[in-house]
């Protein structure tokens, strides 16, 4: 009775189904290897935790943080963008703290679109994108991310008469782990500017990159008509802290500030202080987690390839996105994998129609556990083949 049509339009999540399968497996006594959720198992750098502990002892942090109180975090974000990407932003007008990138996106869509506007978004993509679009009353048009194109969207294929209000991109990508170079963002920004479309780049994996790869920023293509969402959840293992920032086009940032002004009061000041410190850390301290995820990638990908699963060698993010030979129903496969082998992974279908046939592993366990998980799935495959024959 009290459900608005916009609440009713928020799609249900396959993750609830997976959670139920996990509970059944646990109840049957099976040991569980949970690789389903992309929540870092690492801790933030100790100096960041200490800054937060210190802040909790400072009564000045107990009050509502006003916009002026967010200046140190905005300035740290601006310094980070300059140091890391060579992007210059005005911390007064072109940066805004967020309670995570997910909150930022939902409110940004409310701030820059009107009901009935069109949003182009990746398929497969991070599932809350569809929910945020539904809350804003948007028409969504999926942009297929296909392996043969390196999981980059083909903007040329978008019909010329479509007038999208916004294009949403995310590289390094969840769930495919694909990356995009600066030339791609320059093309995407030019494509958007030619259509008066806002380019929104969701960038929570900016520092979770491996080997010598460094992810570019969409803001390198200029701030005009571009907004980027940054997060400390993955890059500094601060998912539970709920902190990030938006940066880019001053008009869009002002609209976002207006909507957020009606909704929240910025993150707790202690968390802002911790985040500002984290953004200024040198790579040797700030990027330690990336090496850990890299070692996990190095263990899991060869194990999956040995099973003849098609999987690219990720340069970033915290996922392996694998096409399982002959798979047509990833949801029932993932449920079986949980119930029969105790390995909990995400079905590709959960990320969109183009995710069917794939499964996603979150690299949130040590290398030997990942290899064990691959072995358990290989064993299940063999058992199923024997049963069929």
Ligand X SMILES: Cc1ncc(COP(=O)(O)O)c(C=O)c1O
What is the DSSP secondary-structure string of 90-108? -TTTSEEEES-HHHHHHHH
Only segment of 27-35, 99-107, 109-117, 380-388 that touches ligand X (CB under 6 A): 99-107
Residues 246, 135: Cα–Cα separation, whole Å: 20
**Nearest distance from C-beta of residue 241 to ligand X, angstroms:** 9
Only segment of 2-10, 62-70, 98-106, 217-225 that touches ligand X (CB under 6 A): 98-106
Among 61, 209, 217, 233, binds ligand X (CB under 6 A): 233
Only segment of 95-103, 151-159, 192-200, 325-333 that touches ligand X (CB under 6 A): 95-103
Q: CB-wise, 95 or 303, nearer to ligand X?
A: 95
Q: In this structure, are residues 373 and 148 in contact, taking their beta carbons and an 8 Å threshold? A: no
**Nearest distance from C-beta of residue 59 to ligand X, angstroms:** 28
Quick one: which of 190, 157, 158, 184 has its CA closest to 169?
184
Number of residues located near ligand X, criterion CB under 6 A = 13
**Nearest distance from C-beta of residue 174 to ligand X, angstroms:** 4
Q: CB-wise, 165 or 236, nearer to ligand X?
A: 236
**Nearest distance from C-beta of residue 98 to ligand X, angstroms:** 7
Residues 341, 381: Cα–Cα separation, whole Å: 10
Among 44, 97, 239, 352, binds ligand X (CB under 6 A): 239
Which runs of consecutive H residues, i.e. helices, occur in 200-287?
A: 250-261, 269-279, 283-286
Residues 15, 56: Cα–Cα separation, whole Å: 35
Q: CB-wise, 231 or 365, nearer to ligand X?
A: 231
Check residue 174 for interaction with ligand X (CB under 6 A).
Answer: yes
Q: CB-wise, 101 or 327, nearer to ligand X?
A: 101
What is the DSSP secondary-structure string of 50-87? HHHHHHHT-GGGGSPPPGGGGHHHHHHHHHHHHHHH--
Site for ligand X in 23-82 (CB under 6 A): 38
Q: CB-wise, 256 or 376, nearer to ligand X?
A: 256
Q: In this structure, are residues 369 and 33 in contact, taking their beta carbons and an 8 Å threshold? A: yes
Q: CB-wise, 204 or 342, nearer to ligand X?
A: 204
Q: CB-wise, 173 or 330, nearer to ligand X?
A: 173
Among 44, 91, 97, 100, binds ligand X (CB under 6 A): 100
Q: CB-wise, 171 or 309, nearer to ligand X?
A: 171
31-55 in b/e burial notation, b at 16+ Cβ within 10 A? eebbbbebebeeebbeebeebbeeb
Task: Using the structure block, give the residue that is written with the tokens 């069917």.
Answer: 356
Residues 374, 317: Cα–Cα separation, whole Å: 19
* 185 Cβ contact partners less than 8 Å away, ≥ 6 residues apart: 169, 201, 216, 217, 218, 220, 221
Only segment of 48-56, 96-104, 219-227, 368-376 that touches ligand X (CB under 6 A): 96-104
Site for ligand X in 177-206 (CB under 6 A): 202, 204
Q: CB-wise, 102 or 341, nearer to ligand X?
A: 102
What is the DSSP secondary-structure string of 316-369? BSSEEEEEPTT-S-HHHHHHHIIIII-EE-EEGGGG-GGGTTEEEEE--S-HHH
Among 80, 126, 171, 361, binds ligand X (CB under 6 A): 126
Query: Which residue number is nearest to ligand X in terms of Cβ?
Result: 100
Helix (H, G, I), strand (E, B) or coil at 272: helix
For the CA atoms of 251, 114, 77, 320, the dihedral, rounded to the nearest 10 degrees, stands at -140
**Nearest distance from C-beta of residue 204 to ligand X, angstroms:** 5
Q: CB-wise, 38 or 131, nearer to ligand X?
A: 38
* 250 Cβ contact partners less than 8 Å away, ≥ 6 residues apart: 90, 93, 94, 223
Query: Which residues would be at the binding site for ligand X (CB under 6 A)?
Result: 38, 100-102, 126, 170, 174, 202, 204, 231, 233, 239, 244
């Amino acid at each position: 009775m009290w459900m608005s049509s916009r609440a009713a339009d928020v799609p249900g999540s396959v993750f609830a189904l997976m959670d139920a399968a996990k509970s059944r497996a646990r109840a049957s006594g099976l040991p569980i290897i949970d690789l389903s959720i992309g929540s870092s198992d690492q801790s933030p750098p100790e100096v960041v935790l200490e800054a937060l502990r210190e802040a909790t002892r400072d009564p000045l942090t107990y009050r509502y943080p006003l916009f002026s109180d967010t200046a140190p975090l905005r300035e740290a974000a601006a310094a980070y963008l300059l140091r890391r990407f060579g992007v210059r932003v005005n911390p007064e007008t072109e940066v805004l703290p967020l309670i995570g990138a997910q909150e930022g996106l939902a409110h940004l869509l409310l701030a820059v679109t009107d009901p009935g506007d069109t949003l182009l978004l990746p398929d497969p993509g991070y599932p809350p994108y569809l929910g945020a679009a539904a809350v804003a009353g948007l028409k969504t048009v999926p942009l297929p991310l296909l392996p043969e194109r390196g999981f980059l969207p083909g903007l040329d294929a978008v019909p010329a008469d479509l007038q999208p209000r916004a294009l949403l991109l995310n590289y390094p990508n969840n769930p495919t782990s694909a990356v995009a170079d600066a030339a791609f963002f320059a093309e995407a920004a030019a494509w958007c500017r030619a259509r008066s479309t806002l380019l929104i780049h969701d960038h929570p994996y900016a520092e979770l990159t491996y080997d010598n790869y460094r992810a570019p920023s969409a803001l390198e293509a200029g701030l005009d008509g571009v907004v980027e969402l940054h997060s400390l959840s993955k890059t500094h293992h601060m998912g539970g802290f709920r902190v990030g920032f938006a940066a880019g086009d001053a008009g869009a940032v002002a609209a976002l500030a207006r909507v957020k002004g009606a909704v929240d009061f910025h993150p707790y000041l202690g968390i802002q202080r911790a985040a500002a410190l984290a953004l200024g850390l040198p790579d040797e301290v700030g990027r330690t987690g990336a090496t850990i995820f890299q070692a996990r990638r190095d263990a899991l990908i060869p194990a999956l390839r040995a099973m003849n699963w098609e999987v690219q060698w990720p340069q970033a993010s915290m996922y392996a996105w694998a096409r399982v030979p002959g798979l047509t129903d990833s949801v029932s496969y993932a449920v079986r994998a949980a119930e029969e082998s105790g390995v909990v992974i995400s079905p590709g279908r959960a990320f969109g129609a183009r995710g069917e046939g794939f499964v996603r592993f979150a690299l949130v366990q040590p290398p030997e556990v990942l290899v064990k998980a691959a072995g358990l799935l290989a064993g299940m495959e063999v058992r199923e083949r024997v049963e069929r024959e």
